[in-house]
Amino acid sequence: MRFISEFRRSELAEGLISQIHRKSRTPARFMEFCGGHTVTIFRYGIRQVLPQTIDMVSGPGCPICVTANADLDKAIALSRIPDIIITTFGDMLKVPGSRSSLQQVKADGAEVHTVYSTMDALKIAEDNPDKSVVFLGIGFETTAPTIAASILQAVEKGIGNYYVLSLHKLCPPVIRALLDSGEVKLDGLICPGHVSAIIGSHPWEFIARDYGIPCVVSGFEPLDILQCVDMLIAQVENGESRVEIAYRRGVRPEGNQQAMRLMEQVFEPSPAQWRGMGEIPDSGLKLREKYQRFDAELAFDIEPGPTSEPVGCICGDILRGVRTPADCRLFGKACIPENPIGPCMVSSEGSCSAYYLYGGSFEG
Ligand code: SF4
């Protein structure tokens, strides 16, 4: 198949669904790690067409959702410092921090710009030499190489007013933390496609080896997800656990070595705070010593004040896969996409947003 429309063909989907129903005998719970997969699953009603034996649960793979309020408060505090321009991807603007949001401080006069790439942020720095431009480095392994590239370009061009607030997160360590917590029992993991395009499939092998959980890397179209579920069921029924790739058009086992080198040249692993999960060792990225002059946390006096969580919001539990948006008493009432109370309702990849827009049934 070569075109996206071919990954949505109903007759192929029907064939796969029948195969899944024939094959699945053992009750199994699968987690889709990635928010992009959550959206596909809800948008195309995939949960509803699976057999009763298969329980699906959403995981913590939405980078905006997992950004801790304490980190978001740092970004908001930075935006209040005179002569700083904050640059960020659009979804971040509406996420409520402890007392405000980037959208609110922008309305109050702070300079907050939405950009589509790190190179746009660098251009703003070039065009505003009398200001300091901070890019909010929020994302997984997918975005970190592009941010590394922007820093190397700043070095090359001698741009001295560009900074990064590095709030990056690494995916394999959070899966390990989730499994070690024992809070959620899984029989299979749908591994993220975009992240795996960078890191490859090897970094997931510990899940199959150490925890005996089958893993399949999936793409983002409905047929990708169905194929992935079918492959997971085959492993479950055969009593196997290994890592497979159902997204060969995007992922190689060794990943994208060039992107990995770029990331490793500029960043090194560090502890990171995850919403709902606390600090997880080596699950974040900080700038290596050679590039520390670009580190916004070191360059500016940031005073974020005390952190608090939105009252009644259970995003943390949802991100750990122990509750669903339907368990939140604010869902669809006080909390809707136009008036989000927590990040899972803001982000286009957030579980609450996906449930709200496409949910219909809240089973599982
Ligand atoms: Fe938080 Fe809103 Fe989701 Fe409830 S519905 S968990 S308040 S984002």
pLDDT at 8 over 70: no
Is 165 found in the same domain as 91?
Answer: yes
The secondary structure of residue 323, as a DSSP letter, is: S
What atom in ligand 1 is closest to the CA of residue 335? 2
282 falls within a domain: yes
Span 11-32, average pLDDT: 94
The secondary structure of residue 309, as a DSSP letter, is: P
Give the pLDDT confidence of 209-219 residue by residue, as tens digits: 999 999 999 99
Span 140-160, average pLDDT: 97
Q: How far apart are CA 195 and CA 282, in angstroms?
A: 17
pTM: 0.92
Confidence of residue 11 (pLDDT cuts 50, 70, 90): confident
Look at the chain and report how many structural domains it folds into: 2
Give the mean pLDDT of the chain: 94
Beta bridge partners of 164: 135, 295
pLDDT at 30 over 60: yes
CA–centroid distance, residue 156 to ligand 1 (Å):
44
CA–centroid distance, residue 55 to ligand 1 (Å):
22
Task: Indicate if ligand 1 lies below 6 Å from the C-beta of 344.
Answer: yes
Q: How far apart are CA 19 and CA 13, in angstroms?
A: 10
Is 350 found in the same domain as 263?
Answer: no
Beta bridge partners of 34: 61
Last residue of a domain, one of 264, 299, 334: 299
Domain span at residue 320 reads 315-359
Task: Indicate if ligand 1 lies below 6 Å from the C-beta of 162.
Answer: no
Which residue's CA is minimally distant from atom 7 of ligand 1? 313
Task: Indicate if ligand 1 lies below 6 Å from the C-beta of 331.
Answer: yes
CA–centroid distance, residue 295 to ligand 1 (Å):
32
Is 292 found in the same domain as 322?
Answer: no
Task: Indicate if ligand 1 lies below 6 Å from the C-beta of 95.
Answer: no
Is 320 found in the same domain as 295?
Answer: no
Give the pLDDT confidence of 288-339 residue by residue, as tens digits: 999 999 999 999 999 999 999 999 999 999 999 999 999 999 999 999 999 9
Pocket of ligand 1, candidates 335, 351, 356: which has the most ligand atoms within 8 Å of its Cβ, to mutate?
Answer: 335
Which residues touch 25 (CB under 8 Å, ≥6 apart)?
Answer: 53, 237
151 falls within a domain: yes
